[in-house]
Structure 1
Amino acid sequence: MTVTLTSAIPDIFFLPEWGKAYESQDHGENCIFEFRNGTGHVFYQFIKRPIPIDAGGMQFYDTITPFGQSGPLIVECEEGKEKELAGAFDGAFQVYCEENRIVSEYVRFNGWLNNAKDFSHLYGMDNRGITMYIDLTVDDVFMQEFKSGTRQQVRRSLKNGVEVEYDFTGATIKEFHRLYTIMAKKNDIPDHYMFSEELLAESFNLLEGKQFIIYAKYGGEYISAALYLHHGDFLHYHLAANDPAFFNVAGNSLILHEGCRWGVENGKKEMHLGGASTDALYRFKRGFTKTEPLDILTGKKVRDEDAYALLVEAKKAREDIQNPSHFPLYRG
């Protein structure tokens, strides 16, 4: 049976248009490697990055999966032969890496699809924390998933007269980026983690029909926003943007409640909230869900041992390695 790409890809982070939209964030080129044999079909999207180290005049590359959680994905497979298919894929990808001077590979696996279970034996694995989600299949998300304190925040926001507004086209991206920048400065987010206004604007062209913004407005002013993504069964609370001066009216809580409402009405099964870099953010997100968090798993693999060692030595000769635990080490 032939499986079309659109129907086979279960989540937005695996879509080619997603990789294309975010390739500049990792300073590389979005690539797709597909493997098929008599056992099944593996789809793998990654960013191929030039390594900015002079190693005897030879240009080497490494790979990282696009921003988000994806990795190699088994699209179809004979029952019980997933590990066999994964091994054959790995052998074919090794040849590809040798032909394209790819030295190392870093994979951010997808927690809700758990594709790591099929490939973890092929990589050095690390647990990078947890990601949270809201179960949208319960009878009443507001009462069954939200904790009492969170329900009070939503009610307070409505009582304060906070209103919601949707943008499905990206027409208001300048306003979103204004709030996003305010939040980033307050939280001391480094510039290299920030998304540019241009990238976000272009993403609405590449991901047409698959993302939207929900705003909270108070007194006619935009005070909070969230950029949502969706594909298949999954809805994602992708980026938040808030003006801290208005936290007292709880606009962000109303935006999450509204996102859940949209997800239920549009047949989504899960709304993903992502992880949390601080205790306060963790407590805020956990207030919206009583489901157990999922692990964030990453995989790393050296594809060319000799070139890897050469690049590490070249980096050491040029400057100190600032982070000895970083992978790949030559980028540490």
Structure 2
Amino acid sequence: MASTTWVTATSSDWHEVLPLVEHDTYHLPEYVSICGRLEAAESTAFSWSDDRGGRFFLPLLFREIPGTSEVDATSPYGYPGPAVSPGGLGHDQWLAACAALRSALEERGARSCFVRLNPLLPADLEAMATVGAVVHHGSTVVMDLRRTDEEILAGIRKNHRRDIKRSNGEGRVATVDEAWAHLPQFVHVYHETMRRVGADERYSFSQEYFEELRKDLDEHVHLIVVHAGDELTAGAVLFETSGIVQYHLGGTLDRFLAQQPAKLIFDLAWRWSKQRGDAALHLGGGVGAAADALLRFKQGFSKEERSFHTWRIVPSREAYESLVRRQGVDLRSGDDEVFPAYRSLG
């Protein structure tokens, strides 16, 4: 027998489930709540369990669909995806959990569900594909911190090692700012970076957002900054949970790009994380998961890569297509490349 339930981010049940699944910072209720407030969405999670000890736990945000009284579901920003029992689920359990999720979404009237998978956590893509499309977007880079320092250094590109050594010799220094004393300067750096790369406005997170992360995530979030003399040239926010460290957000001032201070950030990040006993440092991928210059830069720190996928569920095809037509989207025109298609005009 299996059971399912929806767990709200404010419920103590959420924290009772987390120790029973392999999870990341992106699965913490505090993080999901922050994302929910940003999107004016309901922060919740689908929880499935069976009598064999299997667990499947998926954080989601339920949002109103503009111009309608209907809702859809999406992942919080980052790499959430399903968190399942340690050691994983059997294929039959994955099939059952995925089918139960689709039914639960339909019962709630969700017109679609968009899930970003976590490249570091187990996922049965074949089972997931039975209830929704699984789309491969590209690769991400991960550093295995269980290796020796010598093995890690051997996996870092020679020019990266050379530039890090030169930067240190020229007085540029990366530090972990546990007091977050340089948060305002970091936010300035981050915003300048978002403007430079032409990022969507929704990624220009405010200083209040970062303050919320620090207050609500506490020991799970850290700030690394790089200084050249008295000037902060680059910085990054890292997440840390269950031995997994995630490079969440970061940036570099335009005029210091040639110095590539991000190399100092990554170098300190792996050393600091390894010293704390963490098992993996996930650097992420390229912009929009593309095989671009950013991905190639990250590949210079590790040859180990993981695949990044999204999962797109339509609980009721009839209801979905009806909404798409009412929103004025022609599925034959190619507008359905955006998922969900009814948000392609937003």
Change (3 A) 1:317 1:12: closer
Q: Which residue of 2 aligns with 1:93?
A: 101
Is 1:69 equivalent to 2:79 in the alignment?
yes
Which residue of the partner structure matches residue 33 of structure 2?
A: 20
Query: Is residue 108 of structure 1 aligned with residue 116 of structure 2?
Result: yes
Q: What is the CA distance between 1:150 and its match in structure 2?
A: 0.3
Query: Which of residues 82, 86, 90 is equivalent to 2:90?
Result: 82
Counterpart in 1 of 2:293?
Answer: 280
What is the distance in 2 between the residues matched to 1:157 and 1:197? 29
2:145 to 123, 132, 136: 136
Contact 2:22-2:84 at 8 Å conserved across structures: no
Aligned counterpart in structure 2 of residue 302 of structure 1, from 314, 324, 338: 314
| 3-state SS of 1:115 partner | coil
Q: Secondary structure, in 3 states, of the residue corresponding to 1:290?
A: coil
Aligned residue in 2 for 1:176: 186
- Alignment partner, residue 240 of structure 1: 250
* Pair 1:125-2:137 in alignment: no
Post-superposition offset of 1:186: 1.5
Q: Is the 8 A contact 1:210 1:231 kept in 2?
A: yes
How far 1:69 sits from its partner (Å)?
1.7
The answer for the alignment partner of 2:259 in structure 1 is 249
Q: Deviations over 1:193-251 (max 9, x none)?
A: 32222112111111110011111111111111111111112111111121121234332
Structure 1: 4+ residue segments shifted above 4 A = none
Which residue of 2 is the match for residue 203 of structure 1? 213
1:314 paired with 2:326, answer: yes
Distance 2:98 2:295 in 1: 36
> Per-residue deviation at 1:161?
0.3
Question: What's the CA shift for 1:136?
Answer: 1.4
- Give the partner amino acid of 1:5: V
Question: How much does 1:26 deviate?
Answer: 4.2
Kindly indicate whether residue 53 of structure 2 is the aligned counterpart of residue 44 of structure 1: no
Q: Which amino acid aligns with 2:141?
A: M
* 100 and 265 in structure 1: CA distance in 2 versus 1, 3 angstrom threshold: same
In structure 1, distance between residues paired with 2:296 and 2:329: 45
What is the distance in 2 between the residues matched to 1:144 and 1:10?
29
Q: Which has the higher contact order (CA 8 A, sep 6+)?
A: 1
TM-score, normalised to structure 2, is 0.85
Q: Is the 8 A contact 2:329 2:341 kept in 1?
A: no
Query: 1:108·1:299 contact (CA, 8 Å) conserved in 2?
Result: yes
The 1:76/1:239 distance shift into structure 2, 3 A limit, reads closer
More deviation in 3-12 or 34-43? 3-12
Stretch moving more, 29-38 or 124-133: 29-38
The answer as to whether partners of 1:26 and 1:66 remain within 8 angstroms in 2 is no
Cα distance in 1 for residues equivalent to 2:135 and 2:106: 25
Distance between the aligned counterparts of 1:68 and 1:204, measured in 2? Answer: 17
Residue identity in the other structure for 1:197: Q
Percent identity between matched residues is: 25
Could you tell me which of 140, 144, 156 is aligned with 2:166?
156
Where 2:257 maps in the other structure, the secondary structure is helix
Cα distance in 2 for partners of 1:94, 1:122 equals: 7
Counterpart for residue 212 of structure 1: 222
Unmatched tracts of structure 2, length 5 or more: 1-14
Quote the Cα distance in structure 2 between the aligned partners of 1:324 and 1:171.
Answer: 45
Measured on the aligned residues, the alpha-carbon RMSD in Å equals 2.5
Mapped to 2, the partners of 1:199 and 1:321 lie a distance apart of 38
Q: TM-score, normalised on structure 1?
A: 0.89
CA contact (8 A) 2:176 2:225 kept: yes
Q: Secondary structure at the match of 1:228?
A: strand
**How far off is 1:171 after superposition?**
4.2
Shift of 1:61: 0.9
Checking the alignment, whether the CA contact within 8 Å between 1:135 and 1:145 is kept in structure 2 is no
User: 2: distance between equivalents of 1:114 and 1:194?
Assistant: 31
- Over 3 Å counting, the alpha-carbon distance change for 1:76 and 1:227 in structure 2 is closer
Letter of the 1:88 partner, please give it.
Answer: A
Q: Which residue of 1 aligns with 2:341?
A: 329
